[in-house]
Amino acid sequence: MVLNIIIGVIIGAIIGFFGARYMFKKQLRKNPPINEKMIRAMYMEMGRKPSETQIRKIMASVMSQYK
C-alpha cells in the first residue's frame, strides 16, 4: 500500500516536471522576453544604427534557445 503511494508520487512528479517544462517553453516561444523593438533601442543607446540583418540574427539566436 505504501509502496503504491510512493510510486504514484514519483510518477506524478515526473509527469508534472515534463508538463510544466513543455508549457514554459511554449510560452517563451509565443512571448519572447526580448523583441525587435528592444534590440533596436539597445543599439541606439550604444550609438549605433542597427541593420535589419543584425536584428534578425540576434532574434534568431534568442529564439533558438527556446526550442
Q: What kind and span of H or E run contains 4? A: helix 2-30
Task: Give me the percent of the chain exceeding a pLDDT of 70.
Answer: 99
Q: What is the mean pLDDT of the chain?
A: 91
DSSP label at residue 31:
S
Of 44 and 66, more confident: 44
Cβ atoms of 67 and 30 within 8 Å: the answer is: no
Q: Is the pLDDT at 15 greater than 70, yes or no?
A: yes
Overall residue count recorded for the chain in this entry: 67
Instruction: State residue 67's pLDDT score.
Output: 66
